[in-house]
Structure 1
Amino acid sequence: MKKNFISPFSLPVYFFALTILIGAIILHHPISLKGNSISWLDALFTATSATCVTGLIVVDTGSFFSPFGQGVILTLIQLGGLGIMTYTSLVFYLWRKKISITDRIAVGQSLLHDPSFHLGKFLTQMIQFVFFIELGGALLLYLLDPIKFSPFSAIFHSISAFCNAGFSLFSSSLIEWQSSFLVNLIFIILIVSGGLGFAVILEIYERKIHVRTKQKLSWHSKIVLETTLALIVGGTILIFIAEFFAHPEYIDLKKSILTSFFQSITCRTAGFNTVEIDKMTNLSLLIMIFLMFIGGSPGSCAGGIKTTTFRTFVSFGWSNLIGRKQCVIGKYALDDKSLNKALTLIIFAMSLIFLATAILLATEGGDIPHHLTKGLFLEILFEVVSAFGTVGLSVGLTPNLSVIGKMVIIALMFIGRLGPILFLTLLQSWQSQERFKWPENTLLIG
C-alpha cells in the first residue's frame, strides 16, 4: 500500500499541494499585505490560483498585496507553470549529474507523457528557453511603457503571460492597452509559447531553426500546431461575429478584430482580458467556455482537456460518421490505448464540470427562484470551466462566492492544473486488474 501512495504518479500531486500550503501560509502573513487582512480561505484560494496558474482572484493583486506578497505570487506562478517536479529534478541533475529512475518517470509522465526522453538535456534547454523568452518579453514591455510596466511589473506580467497564469497588477487587466497592437502582440507570443508545450517548442527550434538541414516535425507537433492554429482562427472569427452583430453601430473594425484575436488566444488558458468579460454577449461567453474547456497542449503551462484530446475526439466522431474502423489523424491511425484515454478524459472532465456546476447552483442561490437569478447559470458554468481549464477569466462571480463555492473552485483549479488524466492514472495505479472477461452482448443505442 505504501508503494501505491508514494509513486511517480503521486509525487506531483504531493509537491503541488505542499507548495500551495506553504504559499497560503506566507500570503496570510501581514508582510505579504498592504495593511489589510486576509482570511485563511482567501489566502489558500490565491495560492492555489497562482500555483495552478489560473488567475482567478478574490482580492485585487496590485492593491491588496505588498511588493513582497506580489513576489510570492510571482514565485508560485513560476513554480506552477514549469512544474514542481521539473524544478526538483533539475536540482538533482545539476547537483549529482544524474537522476533516479523515479524522477525520470515522474517528470516524463507529468510533462511529456513519455518516460524515455533525455531528461537532463531537456530540462537544461527548457529552463534556458523559458528564462530567455520571459526576460525578452519583460524587456519589450518595459521599453513600450516604462511607467506602467516598471521593471518589476514587466517581469511579473511577462512570467504571468508565459506561464498562462493571467495574474495582473492592474485591476482592469489589459483593457488599458486594448488598442495597442504591440502590447497585444507581446502578450500573444508569450501566451502561445507557454501553451504549445515545451517539447513542441524545443522540436521547432531543433528541427526548423537550429539545424542547417531542415527536418520534418513529428506527428505530435504537427497535430498540436494545426489544432492550435485552427482554434485561434476559428475562435477569433466566432467571437468577432458575436460581438460585431451585438454592437454594429459603434464598433471599431480594427479594434474589434484585435480584441477578438486576443480573447480567442487568452481564453484557452491565459486569463488576461482586453475587454470587460461581463459585458460580452452570451454567444461570446458560450464560445469562450468551449475554448476554455479545450485549453492548451500537453506538457505546457495550459490546462483544459488539451488540443490533442480535442483533435482525437473530432477524428473519432468523423471516423464513425464515414464508417472508418480506425481513428485517423493526419497520416496515422491512433492506437486504441490513446483513444480510450482521450475519451475517458473527456467523460471525466464533463462529469467533473457538471458536478461542480450543480454544487455551485445549490450554494450560490439554490433557494432563489429562477426568474430572480436569470443569467446565474451561465455565470457559474463560465466560472467552473475557467477554473477547470486554469484560465482565470471571470464575469465577476469569484469574489462573491460562498465558502463552499470557493472550496469547489480551489479543487477544480488543482485538478485542472495537474490534469484529470494524472488523477485517473493515479487511481488506476491503486486498482487491481481483473483476470477474466465478462460475456458480451449488444444493446440498442439511440
Structure 2
Amino acid sequence: MRQKYLSPFWLPVYAFGIVIVAGACLLRLEDSLNGVSISFIDALFTATSAVCVTGLAVVDTPSTFSTTGRTVLMVLIQLGGLGIMTYSSLIFFLLRRRVSLTDKAAVGQVLLHDPSFDLGRFLTHMVIFTLCIELAGAAALMALIPQDMPWFHALFHAVSAFCNAGFALFSDSLMRWEGHAGVNLVFMLLIIAGGLGFSVMEESVLRIRGEIPALSRHTRIVLRTTLWLIFGGAACLFLAELHSGGSADMPTRVLQALFQSVTARTAGFNTVDIGGMANVSLLVMLFLMFVGGSPGSCAGGIKTTTLRALSAFVAAQLSGRRQTVVMERALDDATMNKAITLFIFAVLTVTGATLALSITESAGGALAQEKGMFLELLFESVSAFATVGLSTGVTPQLSDPGKLIVTALMFIGRIGPIWLLSALQRFQHEPKYRWPETQLPIG
C-alpha cells in the first residue's frame, strides 16, 4: 500500500499540494501585502490559481499584493507552468542522482507523446528554451510600452503569458491595449508558444533549422488543430460581436476577436469586458476553453489531440468505418478509450461543479436571478477546470464554499484528469476473470 502512495503518478499531486499551501502562507505575510489582509481561503485560492496557471482572482492583484507578493506569484506561476515534477527531475539529474525508468516514463507521458526520451537533455533544453522566450517577450513589452512596462512588470507579464497563467498587474487586465497591435501580437505569441507543448516547440525549431527532415505526425496534428481553433474561433467571435454595438473600429474588432480566441484556449488575459459579451460569444469561448491547449504544455483542457481523436471517431461512425483514422493512420483502441474517458470525466466534473456552484452561490436568491446565473457559473467552472482564468465577473463574488469548489477544479485541471485517473487506478486490481458479453439496444 505504501508503494502505491509513493508511485510516480502521485508525486505531482503531492508536489503541487505542498507548493500551493506554502504559497498561500507566503501570500498572507505582511511583506507580501499592500497594507491589507486577506483570509486563508483567499490566499489558498490565489496560490492555487497561480500554481495551476489559471489566473482567476478573488482579490485585485495590483492593489492587494506588494512587490514581494507579486514576486511570490511570479515564482508560483513559473513552477506551475513547467511542472513541479519536472523541476524535481531536473534537480536530481544535475545532482547526478539516479532517476528510475519508472520516473522517466511518468514524466514522458506528460511532457511528450513518446515516453522514451533523454530526460536530462530534454529538461535542460526545456528550461533554457522557456527562459529565453520569457526574456525575449519581456524585452519586447518594454520596448513597445516602456511607460507602462518597467522591467519587473514586463517580466511578470511575459512569465504569466508563456505559462498561460493570465495574471496581470493591471485591474483591467489588458483592456487598455485592445487596439495596440504590437502588444497584442507579443502576448498572443507567448500564449500560443506556451500552449503548444515543449516537444512541439523543440521539434518546430529543429525543423526550421533544417536539422530534421520533417515534422512528426503528433506535431503536425497539434499545429493544424491549433490553427483551426485560433482562426475558426476568431471568425465566430467576430461575427457574434459584430452587431453588439461599441465604439471600436473594424481593425480593433478583428484584433479583439483574434486575441480572445487565443486567450480563451489557454491564458486568461482579456482585452474586452468578458461579462459584456454576447451569449453566443460566451458559448464559443466555452468550447475553446474546454478544448484548451496541447499535451505537455502549460495549458489545461481536454487538449487538441483529444479533440482531433474524438472528431475523427465521430466521422468514422457517420461514414460506417470501424477504424478511427487521423492523417492516414488508424488510432488504436487504447488511445480512443483514453480520449473518450477523458471527455466523459471532464464533462461530468464540470457539470458537477456547476451544479454545486448553483447551490452555493444562489442560496437565498430570487428564482429569476438564479436562472440568470447558470451560464456565468458554467463559464466559471469550465474556465477553472481548463485552467484558463477568464471570468464574467463572478470570481470576486464567490462565497467561501464556492471558492473551495473552484480551487478544487483548478487543481484537478492542472494535474490532468488522465494523470489523476491513472493515480487512482493504481489502487485497483484487474480481475482474473471475464464476464460473458451481450448486446444492449442503444438509441
State the TM-score bracket (shorter-chain normalisation): over 0.9
1:365-406 Cα deviation digits (max 9, x unpaired) = 144343233420000000000000000000111111111100
Q: 2:354 aligned with 1:357, yes or no?
A: yes
Specify the alignment match of 2:235 in structure 1: 237
Q: Shift of residue 158 of structure 1? A: 0.2
Specify the alignment match of 1:190 in structure 2: 190
Q: Cα distance 1:62–1:250, how it changes in 2: closer, same or farther (>3 A)?
A: closer
Q: Within 5 Å, give how 1:153-172 maps onto structure 2.
A: 153-172=153-172
Q: 2:248 aligned with 1:272, yes or no?
A: no
Q: Is the 8 A contact 2:179 2:255 kept in 1?
A: yes
Q: Shift of residue 331 of structure 1? A: 1.4
Partner amino acid for 2:367?
A: H
Q: What is the aligned-residue RMSD (CA, Å)?
A: 1.3
TM-score, normalised relative to structure 2: 0.98
Specify the alignment match of 1:141 in structure 2: 141
Q: Is the 8 A contact 1:74 1:160 kept in 2?
A: yes
Q: 2:126 aligned with 1:129, yes or no?
A: no
1:179-204 Cα deviation digits (max 9, x unpaired) = 00000000010000000000000111
Specify the alignment match of 2:204 in structure 1: 204
Write the distance in 1 (CA, Å) between the matches of 2:372 and 2:295. Answer: 33
Partner amino acid for 1:311?
A: R
Which of 215-224 and 42-51 deviates more? 215-224
Partner amino acid for 2:165?
A: A
Q: Shift of residue 145 of structure 1? A: 1.1
Q: 2:46 aligned with 1:46, yes or no?
A: yes
Write the distance in 2 (CA, Å) between the matches of 1:416 and 1:79. Answer: 16
Specify the alignment match of 2:87 in structure 1: 87
Q: Is the 8 A contact 1:10 1:426 kept in 2?
A: yes
Q: Within 5 Å, give how 1:40-439 maps onto structure 2.
A: 40-96=40-96, 99-112=99-112, 114-211=114-211, 215-247=213-245, 250-439=247-436
Partner amino acid for 1:153?
A: H
Write the distance in 2 (CA, Å) between the matches of 1:372 and 1:144. Answer: 44
Write the distance in 2 (CA, Å) between the matches of 1:10 and 1:115. Answer: 18
Q: Is the 8 A contact 1:166 1:270 kept in 2?
A: yes
Write the distance in 2 (CA, Å) between the matches of 1:43 and 1:111. Answer: 29
Q: Shift of residue 104 of structure 1? A: 1.6
Q: Shift of residue 98 of structure 1? A: 5.2
1:203-258 Cα deviation digits (max 9, x unpaired) = 111233252xx5111111111011100000110000000000322x8552111110
Write the distance in 2 (CA, Å) between the matches of 1:408 and 1:310. Answer: 26
> Percent of counterpart pairs with the same letter?
55
Q: Cα distance 1:189–1:204, how it changes in 2: closer, same or farther (>3 A)?
A: same
Give the 3-state SS of the residue equivalent to 2:55 in structure 1.
coil
Q: Shift of residue 278 of structure 1? A: 0.5
Write the distance in 1 (CA, Å) between the matches of 2:371 and 2:239. Answer: 24
Q: Is the 8 A contact 1:9 1:109 kept in 2?
A: no
Q: Is the 8 A contact 1:85 1:106 kept in 2?
A: no
Write the distance in 2 (CA, Å) between the matches of 1:244 and 1:157. Answer: 30
Specify the alignment match of 2:439 in structure 1: 442
Q: Shift of residue 428 of structure 1? A: 1.2
Write the distance in 2 (CA, Å) between the matches of 1:203 and 1:251. Answer: 39
Q: Is the 8 A contact 1:12 1:106 kept in 2?
A: no
Q: Is the 8 A contact 2:377 2:394 kept in 1?
A: yes
1:56-81 Cα deviation digits (max 9, x unpaired) = 00111111101000000000000000
Partner amino acid for 2:406?
A: I
Q: Shift of residue 168 of structure 1? A: 0.2
Write the distance in 1 (CA, Å) between the matches of 2:405 and 2:141. Answer: 35
1:389-444 Cα deviation digits (max 9, x unpaired) = 00000011111111110000000000001110101111111110012111111111
Q: Cα distance 1:258–1:323, how it changes in 2: closer, same or farther (>3 A)?
A: same
Q: Is the 8 A contact 2:110 2:295 kept in 1?
A: no
Write the distance in 2 (CA, Å) between the matches of 1:282 and 1:174. Answer: 22
Specify the alignment match of 2:19 in structure 1: 19
Q: Shift of residue 125 of structure 1? A: 1.1
Partner amino acid for 2:31?
A: I
Write the distance in 2 (CA, Å) between the matches of 1:225 and 1:166. Answer: 22
Write the distance in 2 (CA, Å) between the matches of 1:210 and 1:42. Answer: 49
1:89-123 Cα deviation digits (max 9, x unpaired) = 11111221753334323322332254311111111
1:120-176 Cα deviation digits (max 9, x unpaired) = 111111111101110000001001111211100000000000000000000000001
Q: Is the 8 A contact 1:58 1:399 kept in 2?
A: yes
Q: Which 5+ residue runs of structure 1 have no aligned equivalent? A: none
Partner amino acid for 1:239?
A: L
Write the distance in 1 (CA, Å) between the matches of 2:283 and 2:367. Answer: 20
Count of aligned residue pairs for this structure pair: 443
Q: Shift of residue 329 of structure 1? A: 0.7
Write the distance in 1 (CA, Å) between the matches of 2:260 and 2:392. Answer: 14
Q: Is the 8 A contact 2:113 2:218 kept in 1?
A: no
Partner amino acid for 1:205?
A: V
